[in-house]
């Protein structure tokens, strides 16, 4: 009995595999990056800790009745967690600069080039079309969108896609500057863009999310949940009568759902699913998507400048803000602009 009791106590230690040890180390690395380097701590820390939970032998956190599996079925399979994050993102967005300079919308489109390039490359590397689309969307550097697409198209790849998307979001300050500097001259980075004195009415800002939801919903009904939750968050921000809820969405809702999202995603990051050649391919393709998205936005802005009069020239770095790494990319580009011209 003593021997039997002792063996049951150490059953986990006797059963652990090298793959599980490797995943636990990966979890610890993610926690280190979150705490020490402050790379997206709200997400990388729960993802890292969840990875440890999911890879302990016979873990009660995963499996049919596991807490993480229950959260996964409740929040990821139903797409609830990503959609709640979009309410928070919508509450953070100020669309008034878009009203003042509508052509900025074009940069958001141009900076998606890397998504389609990577999607094509992924199909050539053996991924099916839906998996390739899920991998390509990593280039948007937008974690919730990546999770949303992967949960619908490639649930089996949700773990590596999520980790890649959030890792590259966190690495925006490291990845984007070299790409931008390689494609622009100092003179281009010093271009000043005149601010518009136009005043945007409160009515316009309130009507915008409502009309976008209606038009986008009619054109693409499958986008209603995603666009609708994003625009609902923005309406809460702009309506002027829900200021407390707007702040709560930007702070408490965003933080709580991000924590649940991170630790839940980690339930898919078990050694048998994560440690594979396809995972390395996904992470590599994600970087390609990110780099080409940044380059696409910058090059489009440079192309636009050929046709614009001198007083309307666009600082090409703004094109790189077209990726969805909100708001990190904008901060990085602002910093690069200040380096090139501290008075700009």
Q: Return the percent helix, strand and coil in the chain, to nearest 5.
A: 75, 0, 25
How far is CA 311 from each of CA 8, 46, 314, rounded to the nearest angstrom?
Answer: 76, 48, 9
Highest mean pLDDT among 173-177, 266-270, 315-319: 315-319
**pLDDT of 10 strictly over 80:** no
Q: What is the pTM of this model?
A: 0.76
Closest alpha carbon to 122 in 296, 288, 293: 288
In this prediction, residue 11 carries a pLDDT of 67
pLDDT bin (cut points 50, 70, 90) of residue 1 is: very low
Provide the 3-class DSSP secondary structure of residue 190: coil
Question: Mean per-residue pLDDT for 62-88?
Answer: 85
Kindly report, residue by residue over 113-147, the tens digit of the pLDDT. Answer: 888 888 999 999 989 999 999 888 887 766 777 87
Burial class of residue 326, CB neighbours in 10 A (0-12, 13-18, 19+):
middle
Kindly report, residue by residue over 99-114, the tens digit of the pLDDT. Answer: 887 877 887 777 788 8
Helices vs. strands in the chain: H and E counts, helices first: 22, 0
Angle at CA of residue 109, ends 91 and 140, nearest 5°: 65
Q: Compare 245 and 151 and report the one with higher pLDDT.
A: 245
Print burial letters for 61-82: b (CB count within 10 Å at least 16), e (below 16): bbeeebbbbbbbeebbeebbbb
Q: What is the mean pLDDT of the chain?
A: 84
In this prediction, residue 235 carries a pLDDT of 96
% of the chain exceeding 90 in pLDDT? 19
Give the separation between CA 100 and CA 95, rounded to whole angstroms. 9
Tokens representing residue 88 in the block = 């928070």
In this prediction, residue 325 carries a pLDDT of 64
How far is CA 109 from each of CA 126, 178, 297, rounded to the nearest angstrom?
Answer: 27, 22, 8
In this prediction, residue 49 carries a pLDDT of 92
Kindly report, residue by residue over 166-225, the tens digit of the pLDDT. Answer: 767 767 777 888 999 999 988 888 888 876 677 888 999 999 999 999 999 999 888 888
């Amino acid at each position: 009995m003593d021997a039997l009791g002792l063996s049951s106590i150490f059953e986990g230690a006797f059963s652990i595999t090298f793959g599980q040890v490797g995943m636990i180390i990966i979890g610890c690395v993610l926690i280190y990056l979150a705490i020490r380097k402050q790379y997206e701590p709200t997400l990388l820390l729960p993802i890292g800790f969840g990875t440890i939970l999911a890879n302990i032998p016979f873990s009660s956190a995963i499996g049919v009745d596991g807490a993480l599996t229950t959260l996964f079925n409740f929040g990821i399979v139903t797409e609830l967690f990503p959609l709640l994050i979009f309410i928070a993102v919508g509450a953070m967005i100020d669309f008034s600069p878009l009203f003042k300079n509508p052509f900025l919308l074009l940069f958001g489109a141009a900076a998606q080039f890397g998504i389609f390039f990577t999607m094509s490359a992924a199909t050539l590397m053996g991924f099916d079309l839906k998996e390739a689309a899920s991998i390509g969307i990593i280039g948007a550097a937008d974690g919730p969108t990546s999770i949303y697409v992967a949960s619908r198209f490639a649930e089996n790849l949700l773990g590596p896609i999520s980790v890649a998307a959030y890792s590259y979001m966190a690495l925006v300050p490291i990845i984007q500057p070299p790409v931008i500097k390689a494609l622009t001259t100092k003179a281009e980075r010093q271009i000043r863009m005149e601010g518009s004195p136009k005043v945007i009415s409160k009515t316009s800002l309130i009507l915008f999310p409502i009309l976008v939801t209606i038009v986008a919903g009619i054109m693409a009904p499958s986008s209603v949940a995603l666009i609708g939750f994003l625009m609902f968050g923005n309406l809460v921000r702009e309506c002027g009568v829900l200021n407390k809820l707007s702040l709560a969405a930007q702070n408490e809702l965003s933080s709580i759902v991000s924590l649940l999202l991170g630790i839940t995603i980690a339930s898919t990051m078990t050694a048998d699913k994560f440690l594979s050649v396809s995972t390395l391919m996904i992470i590599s393709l994600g970087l390609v998507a990110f780099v080409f998205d940044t380059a696409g936005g910058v090059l489009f802005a440079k192309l636009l400048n050929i046709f614009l009069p001198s007083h309307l020239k666009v600082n090409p770095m703004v094109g790189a803000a077209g990726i969805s790494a909100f708001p990190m990319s904008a901060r990085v580009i602002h910093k690069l602009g200040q380096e090139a011209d501290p008075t700009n």
